[in-house]
Structure 1
Amino acid sequence: MKQLKILTAPLITISITSCALSPLPKIDPYVVSPIETGPNQYLIVARASDYAGGEPLIRQIALSKANKLCSQDNSHLQVMEIQNGRWSKGATIDVFFKCLTKIEKDIIFYESISSRYSTPKKETQIYKPKLIKEVRGEWFKYAETVSEDYYLLSSVYETKNKTREVWVLFDLKKSSKYGHGSIKVLYEHQCSSELIQGRTRALKSVSYDGPMGQGNVTQAIHSKNEWKKIQPFTMSSERQSIICN
């Protein structure tokens, strides 16, 4: 029995020493689970070495995680911003996103640039683009998405019917799937405090092949669409709060 104890002790010692010397496994790529940064606002941080696949790999993984989170509640992924970076051996990426309900998605799609290219069915006529050149004021950004920057003209006109009209500039980014250039749209808003929900409609739109309303005019439409109720947490809601308050 004494000999058995002497033989087993070195075996245990060797086993422990071997575990202590083995290095910890490295995680490559490394992706952090979605972090909630605000009401329905999330962030995913990821990194990977160039050897493992670099930026293309972590972009795919990060977007997949974001889509998986939104799909848990049958919501739809809306990527707000993607920031790329570098470290000594590879790439990093920060993905900012939201999870939209079907109603929110439909509202944003209604306000998307794609709807500006379609000709309204009612009271449509081509008007002279030179009217746009008479607009005076300063453009300032009030919202931003992955595909577009949204600008308001500082000059707001109040009509005899107590509604307010304001020009909005949709400046397309290179990542936009709707094409390139920019679009100016004249919106009319009902600002009455008696309304539970505000209302808005588009009056005119002019498309340009250059950024910030510059370049050649590719389309000019004068129309009076039907009034649309303004839903909360939309671009229309943000615009309404600026020009009516």
Structure 2
Amino acid sequence: MKNSIVNKTLSEQIFEALREKIIKGELQPGDRIVELEVAKNYGVSQAPVREAFLKLAEEDLVVTQRNKGTFISNFSLDEIDQLYDFRLTVEEFAIKRAFERLTDEDIEELKNYHNEMVLAGVNNDLEKIRIADEDFHTKIYKTADHKFLSNVWETLSSKLSRIWYLNSQVYFTDLSELANIHEPILRAFQNRDLDGCIHAFHEHVNYERQQRASLPSSSEVQSNNHK
């Protein structure tokens, strides 16, 4: 008789499922989510759903309003701008640590993720390019080998992905742009050029910031997506 090993609790599985729906915009800012309805949908009791809601709140993905319920959180323009500022500081630190530990294998892995972005851009595949983009930057944090830095990136990347999905229809008119703005970062890693890599990374983030500045507010995007 084989013993089955359950790697994740029910609450963790529900948390991850809801988290993905929120990140992808399947659950929009302002949408209400009800504990009992989620429990019925997944065929579980309310206890693991309640735990999942607490984890979602810890990542600021949901907010609970007294006597009203739990809702998907929204972003203000100031919060989005602060996220970009914070990312510039955190990821620059990650890049510096990564360069201290960089191997040829690490560079090859970054190259592979970039190639995946290029292919996804050619195929106009929104989901694959988002995953390859996140994998590319996650690799930098993994190479930096800093536990708390990686934890920060996990939360930060979920917020950035939400913003990206909410605005993807107008963020990049051509998805190949996303691969193109990563190419100087990859080239700097290949040349072991730390200063060049940091400069290319700042150019990348500031480009996204400029693109975002020309977009409607998240509440306007939400309204348009519900039409």
Q: Which TM-score band applies after superposition, normalised by the shorter structure?
A: under 0.3
Q: Which has the higher contact order (CA 8 A, sep 6+)?
A: 2
Q: TM-score, normalised by structure 1?
A: 0.21
Larger strand proportion, structure 1 or 2? 1
Which protein shows a greater Rg? 1
Structure having the higher helix fraction is 2
